[in-house]
Amino acid sequence: MNIAAELAAGSKAHNTATNPLTGGIQVTICYNRDHIKAVEINNTRPFAVTRLFREKPVDRVLAMMPSLFYICGMGQLIAALRAVESAAGISETLVIKQARDTLLFAESLREQVFSWVTNWAPQHKSRMSNVVDWFNQCRKQLDWSLTLSSATSGEAGCQPALEQLARQLEEVIKPLLPANQAGSSLATMGLSTQVCQLLKACGKYPLGLAAKTLNLTESQQLTVVLTSLKAAEAEQFCHQPTVNGAPAETGRWARQNIEARGFLIESRLRSLYREITTAPMRLRSIVRQHQFSQAEGTGVRGCSVVETARGSLLHKVELDNRNHVAKYQIIAPTEWNFHPQGSLKTMLEGLYLPWDQVTPVAETLIKLLDPCVSWQLELVHA
C-alpha cells in the first residue's frame, strides 16, 4: 500500500459520502498523459439556509444558530450577535468583547487541533478530547456573553475565569508541542514518518500560484464585497464570492500574511502547527485585553466579520421596524477557499506529475485548505 492509500485508509472519515442535507465539495481532476489538464470544484452546500431567517424575529434567528451550525457554531453565533447588535445600535462592551473573542479563539483552536490530529498527527488523536473538554469549559464559563445585551451579570467574574482558562490551555497544549523546542524539522512537530514522506513527495512538484489572500479588515476589500451583496445576484455571490471578480483565499495562510506562495505545501502545514503551538500566547493576549479578532467592528451597519479557524466569516443583516429579519447574508470561509476558480484549481491545473501522485498531492492540498464539510475527489484520465 502506498503512502497516499495508507493515509486515505487512516482518514476515511473526511472522505465520506456527502449527506444530501449538508452537501459537500466534489473535486474532479482531469489528467492528460503527464499533467493535470483541468480541475473542477463543485460545492453542493445548501445556499438557501439564510432564506430561512427571513421574517423571523431576531431572537428566534439567534436561537437557531447554535442548533443549525455546529462546526463553526460559535463563530456563526458571535458573527450573528455582532451583526444584529450593529444593526440595532447596541454597543459591545469591552468585557463582552473579551469573552466572545475567547470563545471564538477556543472554537478555532478546537477545529485546528481536530484537523491536525485527524489529518497529520493521528497518534495524538486521544488528545482531541482534552481540547473538546477545554472548549466546553470556555462555553460554560462565558455563556453569559452570548446574548443581545450591552451589560450582563457575568461580566464581574470574567477576568478570573479567563485567567483560569488560559492556565488550563497551557496544560492542554503541552503534549502537542515539539519534543525538542530548538528543532524545526517535520519530525519534531510530531508528524509520522509516512506524513513526512508524503510531504517530501508533494514538494517535488511546482504547484501553481494560490489565489490572493483575503483581508476584510481592509475597507477597500470589504466595500467591494458589500457592494456585491447588494446586487441582484447576491445569493450566488455568497456561494462563490470574489474580490473584484477574482477569487481570494482566507484562513491561517491569509492570517499569517503569506501571499501567493501556494507551492510550499510544507509551509502551509507549518502555518497550522504554528497557530496551535502559539495558542496559549495568543489567548494570554486576549486575557490582557489585546485584540485577537482581526476583523470586527466593520463600521458598516448590520455587518460583522469574525475570524474562524478556516478564515473570515461575514454576516450581514437588515432588520425591519418590528425587529424581524428582512434580509440575511452569510459568506463562510469554505466558499472563498473552494471557489471553482480558487487556489485549489490554480495550484493544481497545469501541474506535471505522474498519475500515481495526483491523488496524494490533491488530497494533501484539500486537507490543508480544510473544507468544513465532507469532500470527494474523483480522478479522470483523459
Sign for the pseudo-dihedral over CA of 154, 157, 159, 161: negative
From residue 216, alpha-carbon distances to 211, 220, 313, 329 in Å are 15, 8, 10, 16
Task: Figure out which of the listed residues 72, 81, 87, 344 binds other proteins, where binding follows CB under 8 A.
Answer: 72
Helices 128-142 and 158-173 pack at an angle, to 10 degrees, of 180
Does 123 sit near other proteins (CB under 8 A)? no
Does 20 sit near other proteins (CB under 8 A)? yes
Q: Is 330 annotated as a binding-site member?
A: yes
Task: Figure out which of the listed residues 9, 12, 153, 181 binds other proteins, where binding follows CB under 8 A.
Answer: 12
Least Cα distance to 298 among 115, 70, 92, 147 occurs for 92
Contact 333, 311 (CB under 8 A): yes
Task: Figure out which of the listed residues 7, 14, 189, 272 binds other proteins, where binding follows CB under 8 A.
Answer: 14
Q: Site residues for other proteins, window 125-154 (CB under 8 A)?
A: 125-126, 128-129, 132, 136
* CB-nearer residue toward other proteins: 160 or 175: 175
Cα 325 to Cα 371: distance, rounded to the nearest angstrom: 28
* CB-nearer residue toward other proteins: 60 or 261: 60
Cα 211 to Cα 325: distance, rounded to the nearest angstrom: 34
Least distance to other proteins, CB of residue 377, Å: 14
Does 206 sit near other proteins (CB under 8 A)? no
* CB-nearer residue toward other proteins: 36 or 317: 317
Least Cα distance to 367 among 1, 31, 15 occurs for 15
Cell numbers for 76, please give them: 456563526
What is the SS3 assignment for 8? helix
Least Cα distance to 103 among 139, 154, 129 occurs for 139
Report the run of H or E that residue 377 belongs to, with start and end: strand 375-381
Does 71 sit near other proteins (CB under 8 A)? yes
Q: Is 78 annotated as a binding-site member?
A: no
Q: Mask: binding to other proteins, 81-120, rule CB under 8 A, as x and -?
A: ---------------------------------x---x--
C-beta atoms surrounding 169 within 10 Å:
22
* CB-nearer residue toward other proteins: 31 or 116: 116
Does 16 sit near other proteins (CB under 8 A)? yes
* CB-nearer residue toward other proteins: 120 or 205: 120
Does 232 sit near other proteins (CB under 8 A)? no
Contact 252, 115 (CB under 8 A): no
C-beta atoms surrounding 43 within 10 Å:
20
Q: Is 27 exposed, middle or buried (0-12, 13-18, 19+ CB in 10 A)?
A: buried
Which range of residues in 33-41, 69-77, 94-102, 152-160 is near other proteins by CB under 8 A?
Answer: 69-77
Cell numbers for 119, please give them: 489529518
Least distance to other proteins, CB of residue 39, Å: 22
* CB-nearer residue toward other proteins: 337 or 346: 337
Least distance to other proteins, CB of residue 353, Å: 27
Task: Figure out which of the listed residues 48, 156, 179, 182 binds other proteins, where binding follows CB under 8 A.
Answer: 48
Which range of residues in 11-19, 25-33, 193-201, 217-225 is near other proteins by CB under 8 A?
Answer: 11-19
From residue 294, alpha-carbon distances to 111, 137, 256 in Å are 18, 24, 11
Q: Site residues for other proteins, window 356-375 (CB under 8 A)?
A: 372-374
Least Cα distance to 100 among 126, 122, 74, 125 occurs for 74
Task: Figure out which of the listed residues 1, 9, 21, 156 binds other proteins, where binding follows CB under 8 A.
Answer: 21
* CB-nearer residue toward other proteins: 14 or 316: 14
Cα 329–Cα 78–Cα 75 angle in degrees, nearest 5: 80
Task: Figure out which of the listed residues 6, 51, 233, 350 binds other proteins, where binding follows CB under 8 A.
Answer: 51
Contact 223, 209 (CB under 8 A): no
Q: Which residues are annotated as a binding site?
A: 330, 372
Binding residues for Ni(2+): 372
Residues lying near other proteins in the complex (CB under 8 A) are found at: 12-14, 16, 19-22, 45-46, 48-49, 51-52, 64, 67-73, 76, 114, 118, 125-126, 128-129, 132, 136, 330, 332, 334, 372-374
